[in-house]
Amino acid sequence: MLAALRAETPTWAALTTCYALFVGLTLAAPEIPYGLAYFALAIVIAFHSSLQHEAIHGHPTPWPAANEALVCLPLNLVYPYRRYRDTHLSHHLDARLTDPYDDPESWYLDPEAWVRHPWWLKRLLVVNNAAIGRMLIGPALGFIRFFAADARRAASGDRGVIAAWALHGAGLVFLIAWLRFAGVSPWGYALAAYGGLSLISLRSFLEHRADERVSGRSVIVEDRGPLALLFLNNNLHAVHHAHPGIPWAALPKYYRAHRERFVALNGGYVFRSYREVLARHAFRPKEPPAHPLMGPRP
pLDDT exceeding 70 applies to what percent of the chain? Answer: 97
CA 81, distance to chain mean position in Å, is 12
% of the chain at pLDDT higher than 90: 95
Over the stretch 148-195, which tens digit does the pLDDT of each residue have?
A: 999 999 999 999 999 999 999 999 999 999 999 999 999 999 999 999
Confidence of residue 34 (pLDDT cuts 50, 70, 90): confident
pLDDT bucket at 57, cuts 50 / 70 / 90: very high
pLDDT tens for residues 100-132?
999 999 999 999 999 999 999 999 999 999 999
Confidence of residue 7 (pLDDT cuts 50, 70, 90): confident
Residue 297 confidence (pLDDT): 56
Please tell me the least confidently modeled range out of 4-13, 21-30, 89-98, 158-167.
4-13
Q: Residue 214 pLDDT more than 80?
A: yes
So what's the pLDDT on residue 296?
A: 55
Chain centre to alpha carbon of residue 46? 8
Q: Which residue has the higher pLDDT, 298 or 281?
A: 281
Where are the chain's structural domains? 2-109+168-276
Identify the pLDDT of residue 5.
64
pLDDT in tens, 221-257: 999 999 999 999 999 999 999 999 999 999 999 999 9
- With cut-offs at 50, 70 and 90, classify the pLDDT of residue 1: low
pLDDT 10s digits, 62-86: 999 999 999 999 999 999 999 999 9
